[in-house]
């Protein structure tokens, strides 16, 4: 099932690649090419920012929660079993999403480079 998920992400990125190349190719003037390339770059910057921000927020929250539980153990306070399960489950989900994150990050970089060449080609 996870390989199907990876395949789906790759397929979506290939479709997006065709859309980006097609949209850049439909521009008839240099101005249109520049505007389209800039809009693609803005879109990629915004989506990449929110992806990185949410991922880093989850990672830092998980790290703080783990440290808090370790502190509770060292102070010999009761550690809730639910907390340990939540940490393990979240860690497992984050590790499972690493491959998809890399696939989408590489695709975003490729789209950004294509848009950059489209912008430079229109100048």
Confidence of residue 22 (pLDDT cuts 50, 70, 90): very high
What pLDDT shows up at residue 2?
76
Give the residue extent of every domain in the chain: 2-122
Q: Report which DSSP code applies to 29.
A: S
Quote the percentage of the chain above a pLDDT of 70: 100
Tell me which DSSP letter residue 27 carries. -
Tens digit of pLDDT for each residue in 23-42?
988 988 889 989 999 999 99
Please give the pLDDT value at position 80: 78
Residue ranges of the alpha helices (H) in the chain? 2-26, 30-74, 81-96, 98-122
Question: Contact, 115 vs 44, CB < 8 A?
Answer: yes
């Amino acid at each position: 099932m996870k390989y199907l998920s990876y395949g789906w992400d790759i397929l979506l990125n290939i479709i997006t690649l065709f859309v980006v190349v097609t949209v850049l190719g439909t521009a008839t003037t240099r101005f249109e090419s520049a505007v389209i390339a800039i809009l693609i770059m803005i879109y990629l910057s915004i989506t990449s920012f929110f992806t990185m921000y949410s991922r880093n927020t989850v990672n830092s929250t998980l790290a703080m929660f783990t440290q808090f539980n370790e502190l509770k153990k060292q102070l010999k306070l009761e550690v809730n079993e639910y907390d340990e399960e939540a940490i393990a489950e979240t860690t497992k989900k984050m590790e499972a999403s690493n491959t998809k994150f890399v696939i989408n990050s590489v695709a975003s970089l490729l789209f950004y480079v294509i848009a950059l060449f489209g912008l430079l080609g229109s100048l």
